[in-house]
């Protein structure tokens, strides 16, 4: 029996997935979540064989929820034709499969089964656009990593502190340096990474795993 966690912010979609999977007799719905910020806790609680998750949700999208799982359960992403960049991000985060929300029921059954058994599934109708978007995201990340390589270790430390929400004073205290030195390092970070301001540096740090 394959245990499934359903994640979608639309109750009708979750109900529809139940109607497709449960009559097969090989699936048990372990639980449901209505947003991505509930997934990690639900997986720890129910230990599903597969997570079937919408790519777009109100608070935490499928890509970020997949990243937070860090491989704790395989993820099959539900998508539509206009989600290419978000789906590409989910692919980069480790999702094992992607299928259109309006795919035939038999395809959804096969996709869930394959991902639960350790395989992968990429709906042919989204394969081309998603892989193109993934290459675009990967290229952007490579450029970001190349820019980050120009930072000194101390600048990395300051950026990490700021990305965690620390003030200049808190960063200075944590790193045993002066506030003036933190400000100098931050100025160097913005220049080297070609960023506009502190919020942009915070976003950059989270996007490139420097937080």
pLDDT tens digits for range 138-162: 666 666 666 678 889 999 899 999 8
Tell me: do 86 and 45 sit in the same domain.
yes
Tell me: do 121 and 168 sit in the same domain.
no
- Do the Cβ atoms of 36 and 65 come closer than 8 Å? yes
Domain around 179: 151-208
State the total domains in the chain: 2
Residue 141 lies in a domain: no
The pLDDT of residue 84: 64
**Mean pLDDT to the nearest integer, 175-201:** 89
Tell me: do 20 and 60 sit in the same domain.
yes
Q: Which residue has the tokens 């209505």?
A: 34
> Strand, helix or coil at 29?
strand
Distances (CA, A) of 139 to 132, 195, 210: 11, 18, 17
Question: Of 126, 160, 185, which residue sits at a domain end?
Answer: 126
**Mean pLDDT to the nearest integer, 66-73:** 91
CA distance 95 to 81: 17
Residue 143 lies in a domain: no
Residue 180 lies in a domain: yes
Q: Is the pTM of this model over 0.75?
A: no
> Residue 85: which residues within 8 A CB-CB, separation 6 or more?
133, 136, 137
Tell me: do 82 and 118 sit in the same domain.
yes
Phi-psi region of 70 (alpha: psi -120 to 50; beta: other; left: phi over 0): left
Give the bridge partners for 75, in sequence order.
51
Residue 200 lies in a domain: yes
CA distance 73 to 70: 8
Tell me: do 76 and 170 sit in the same domain.
no
């Amino acid at each position: 029996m394959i245990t499934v966690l359903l994640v979608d912010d639309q109750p009708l979609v979750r109900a529809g997935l139940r109607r497709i999977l449960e009559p097969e007799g090989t699936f048990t719905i372990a639980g449901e979540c209505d947003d991505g910020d509930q997934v990690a806790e639900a997986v720890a609680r129910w230990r599903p064989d597969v997570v079937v998750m919408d790519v777009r949700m109100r608070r935490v999208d499928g890509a970020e929820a997949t990243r937070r799982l860090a491989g704790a359960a395989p993820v099959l992403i539900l998508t539509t034709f206009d989600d290419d960049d978000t789906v590409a991000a989910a692919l980069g985060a480790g999702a094992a499969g992607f299928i259109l929300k309006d795919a035939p029921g038999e395809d959804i059954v096969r996709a869930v089964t394959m991902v639960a058994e350790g395989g992968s599934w990429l709906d042919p109708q989204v394969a081309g656009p998603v892989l193109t978007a993934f290459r675009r995201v990967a290229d952007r990340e490579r450029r970001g990593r190349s820019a980050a390589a120009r930072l000194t270790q101390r600048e990395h430390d300051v950026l990490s502190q700021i990305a965690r929400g620390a003030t200049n004073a808190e960063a200075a205290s944590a790193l045993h340096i002066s506030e003036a030195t933190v400000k100098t390092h931050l100025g160097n970070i913005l220049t080297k990474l070609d960023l506009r301001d502190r919020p942009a540096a915070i976003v950059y740090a989270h996007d490139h795993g420097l937080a």
